[in-house]
């Protein structure tokens, strides 16, 4: 592939020539090229031209401690020098993995028995799926294997996790979803609540629909329900009031496991250590990644209840091995960085910091509800979404071909802010170490981009009501 002539032999031109990008329009990339990030400090990153940006989404919801935390660098170096790699196969172990497993089990929102390590959120959720199937085989229930996720859910992009993900572009032309994966309603009250329906009534309807789905499929065939406390890549969608209370009653009635996908919400993002605590979830399995290491190194963790663990023991005894694992799962350097990350969260009381800053971010964003483009502002803690609409009264979305949120994010780049377009929603998830002044500046830059977008729509002849 020949890069555009004006890029010469730059990093951008070589990127176009050799790099296939995730979650990118490959054809458009051939002409648009990348934003090449070359450095980071605090909550800002710098591109290869020297321009700085406030990172309003912490990378991909993950760089919680900012881009230059020296303690994490030092922890990695020290572990590299002591033991740069070892694995956990066949009765092997190392102290960083042991210490981290102990720490995570102690931190869990509900009693958990063991921690299993992988490298990404997708791998963690694939592991959870396999554990659900393994568990039911151990219990002599080979037919109880179907798994329910939700429309607009995001659980990853490996084959099984992508099947759970309820976003069409993760399925189209990948021949997904696989068998035994079902989807139920998206709990987005603004979009799917009926006229005159309260949040609680909406939650009741969704729980009733979930129960009806389980009954149609046969409770003896339904094994688990996967849910993010706050749906992230589906549009930053917090649950309606009483939702998880009602859903969990249905799951308990039919002996269906709850898997909490805490990949985005875990480690303080929602104002508690876990999103499960924020919304009263009592998971049987919990998956986490991202902020576990402040994204400095790849690592994910799966926490399992004692019942799940005992089933693994029984089945592996029968077979002779628990035949699942990853070469780099529980990598000692990643585990050492995770342990230091958790120490920093505790020492700096990151959860309290999120609670202190949350009203500032959520309140400031809600002031934009008066803007002609803003239909809804939603969020909790330091995660939020601003949904853009063509008509506020009817909630009519924009023509997808306009890519309005993408255009706004491009304007935000011009103003020195990086945000995340998700359909017609703009996502916010700044590093948890952001201070008041930096947060105010990020939101002000968003406001400028919002006005730029309105002006652009006028120039394009698009009516906004």
Average pLDDT, the chain: 96
Q: What is the pLDDT of residues 82-112, one digit of tens each?
A: 999 999 999 999 999 999 999 999 999 999 9
In 3D space, the residue among 105, 46, 58 whose CA is nearest the CA of residue 295 turns out to be: 58
Residue 317 token pair: 């005894």
pLDDT per residue as tens digits for the range 394-451: 999 999 999 999 999 999 999 999 999 999 999 999 999 999 999 999 999 999 999 9
Query: To which residue do tokens 């406030």 refer?
Result: 54
HSE on the CB side for 438, CA within 13 Å? 19
Q: What pLDDT shows up at residue 465?
A: 74
Domains and CATH numbers, the chain: 35-68+349-459 (3.90.1150.10), 71-347 (3.40.640.10)
Q: Would you say residue 4 has pLDDT above 70? A: no
Q: How many CB atoms lie within 10 A of CB 31?
A: 9
**Sign, Cα dihedral of 178, 181, 184, 186:** negative
Find out whether 422 and 405 touch, Cβ atoms under 8 Å: yes
* Distance separating alpha carbons of residues 133 and 131, to the nearest angstrom: 5
Question: Max Cα separation, the chain?
Answer: 69
Cβ 319 vs Cβ 289: under 8 Å: no
For 281-323, write each residue's pLDDT tens digit: 999 999 999 999 999 999 999 999 999 999 999 999 999 999 9
Contacts 24+ apart (CB under 8 A), 162-171: 162/122, 164/125, 164/129, 164/226, 166/234, 167/233, 167/234
The closest of 164, 442, 114, 439 to 303, measured between CA atoms, is 114
Q: Is 133's pLDDT higher than 90?
A: yes
């Amino acid at each position: 592939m020949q890069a555009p002539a004006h890029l010469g032999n730059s990093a951008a031109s070589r990127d176009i020539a050799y790099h296939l990008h995730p979650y990118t329009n490959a054809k458009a990339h051939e002409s648009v090229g990348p934003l090449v990030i070359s450095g980071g400090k605090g909550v800002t990153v710098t591109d290869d031209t020297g321009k700085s940006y406030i990172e309003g989404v912490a990378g991909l919801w993950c760089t919680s401690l900012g881009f230059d935390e020296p303690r994490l660098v030092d922890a990695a170096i020290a572990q590299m020098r002591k033991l740069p790699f070892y694995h956990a196969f066949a009765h092997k172990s190392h102290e960083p993995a042991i210490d981290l497993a102990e720490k995570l089990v102690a931190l869990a929102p509900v009693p958990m028995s063991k921690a299993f390590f992988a490298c990404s959120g997708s791998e963690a959720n694939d592991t959870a799926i396999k554990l659900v199937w393994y568990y039911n085989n151990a219990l002599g229930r080979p037919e109880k294997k179907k798994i329910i996720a939700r429309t607009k859910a995001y659980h990853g992009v490996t084959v099984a996790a992508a099947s759970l993900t309820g976003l069409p572009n993760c399925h189209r032309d990948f021949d997904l979803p696989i068998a035994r994966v079902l989807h139920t309603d998206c709990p987005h009250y603004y979009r799917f609540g009926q006229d005159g329906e309260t949040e609680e009534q909406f939650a009741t309807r969704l729980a009733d629909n979930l129960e009806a789905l389980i009954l149609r499929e046969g409770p003896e065939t339904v094994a688990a329900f996967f849910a993010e406390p706050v749906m992230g890549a589906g549009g930053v969608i917090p649950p309606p009031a009483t939702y998880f209370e009602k859903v969990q009653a249905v799951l308990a009635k039919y002996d269906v496991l709850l898997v909490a996908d805490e990949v985005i919400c875990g480690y303080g993002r929602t104002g508690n250590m876990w999103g499960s605590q924020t919304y009263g979830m009592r998971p049987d399995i919990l998956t986490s990644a991202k902020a576990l290491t402040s994204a400095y190194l790849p690592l994910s963790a799966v926490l399992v209840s004692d019942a799940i663990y005992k089933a693994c023991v029984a089945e592996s005894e029968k077979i002779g091995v628990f035949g699942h694992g990853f070469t780099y799962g529980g990598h000692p350097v990643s585990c050492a960085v995770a342990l230091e990350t958790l120490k920093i969260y505790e020492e700096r009381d990151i959860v309290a910091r999120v609670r202190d800053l949350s009203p500032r971010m959520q309140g400031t964003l809600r002031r934009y509800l008066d803007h002609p483009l803003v239909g809804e502002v939603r969020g909790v803690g330091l995660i939020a979404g601003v949904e853009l609409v063509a008509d506020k009264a009817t909630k009519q979305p924009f023509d997808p071909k306009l890519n309005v949120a993408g255009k706004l994010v491009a304007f935000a780049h011009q103003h020195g802010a990086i945000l995340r377009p998700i359909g017609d929603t703009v996502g916010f998830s700044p590093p948890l170490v952001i201070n008041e002044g930096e947060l105010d500046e990020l939101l002000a830059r968003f406001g400028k981009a919002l006005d730029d977008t309105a002006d652009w729509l006028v120039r394009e002849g698009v009516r906004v009501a």
